A and B are shown apart, each in its own frame.
Chain A
Amino acid sequence: AQSVTQLDSQVPVFEEAPVELRCNYSSSVSVYLFWYVQYPNQGLQLLLKYLSGSTLVKGINGFEAEFNKSQTSFHLRKPSVHISDTAEYFCAVSEGNRDDKIIFGKGTRLHILP
């Protein structure tokens, strides 16, 4: 069975500072990894995804994530955050890219401090 662990439920960070949101996964098969962002009372928006190939994945809004198979991690980073990045971030895993179900982590709330 697949699972996703997001180690931090909330991360406060000052505006323009760098941030890393941690994610670890477990799976017995090859996986696809995702990061989604959810703004208040809205649905999910895909930030980035790892399917194969380069372990460093660049996404929208200046975010990037690195797939580390040996550590089973897929941490999300941004070098300089903006107040508009305040949102809930979900790490997710799937066995397939499109038609398979997605298993979500519990989410990390990114709180940008002025």
Chain B
Amino acid sequence: GAVVSQHPSRVICKSGTSVKIECRSLDFQATTMFWYRQFPKQSLMLMATSNEGSKATYEQGVEKDKFLINHASLTLSTLTVTSAHPEDSSFYICSAAGLRYNEQFFGPGTRLTVL
């Protein structure tokens, strides 16, 4: 199957700062990327769907001004958590889908800790 990477794998930041998380499809072009959030011992909750070159579609209850998503190329999507606060601490996982494969592939996740 295809490989999706995320960077960084872990990040610790101070409250009020912004953090950028990258999601890359390494061996295929991802026309659609998804961003999920997972709290400890809970399920994945979809935050937004992004298509290359378009604005992201956010799920209900997700603040688009706080979680900025950019999908500028067919291999890269970024999630920026702006003015992060401790309640934003979570495990963020992306997935990518493209024409080459008949399924989505998930990244290894990024653990964000806001102090």
Contact = CB atoms under 8 A, between A and B. Distances in A.
A45 B97 CA distance: 14
Q: Name the residue among A46, A90, A99 with the largest chain B CB count within 10 angstroms.
A: A99
A42 B109 contact: yes
B102 A98 contact: yes
A30 B50 CA distance: 24
Given A41-B111, A42-B108, A99-B97, A105 B32 contact: no
B106 interface: yes
Contacts of B111: 41
Contacts of B32: 98-99
How many B residues touch the partner, as a band? 20 to 34
Contacts of B107: 43
Nearest to A36: B106
Contact of B42 (A45, A99, A106): A106
Interface in B22-49: 31-32, 34, 42-46, 49
A98 B97 contact: yes
A98 B104 contact: yes
A107 B91 CA distance: 15
Contacts, number: 50
Q: Name the residue among B93, B103, B108 with the largest chain A CB count within 10 angstroms.
A: B103
Interface string B81-109: 00000000000010101100111101111
Contacts of B104: 98, 102
Contacts of B6: 43
B16 to A, nearest CB: 26
Interface of B: 1, 4, 6, 31-32, 34, 42-46, 49, 93, 95, 97-98, 101-104, 106-109, 111
13 contacts: A41-B111, A43-B4, A44-B93, A49-B103, A97-B102, A98-B101, A98-B102, A99-B31, A101-B34, A102-B46, A104-B44, A104-B45, A105-B43
Interface of A: 36, 41-46, 49, 90, 97-99, 101-107
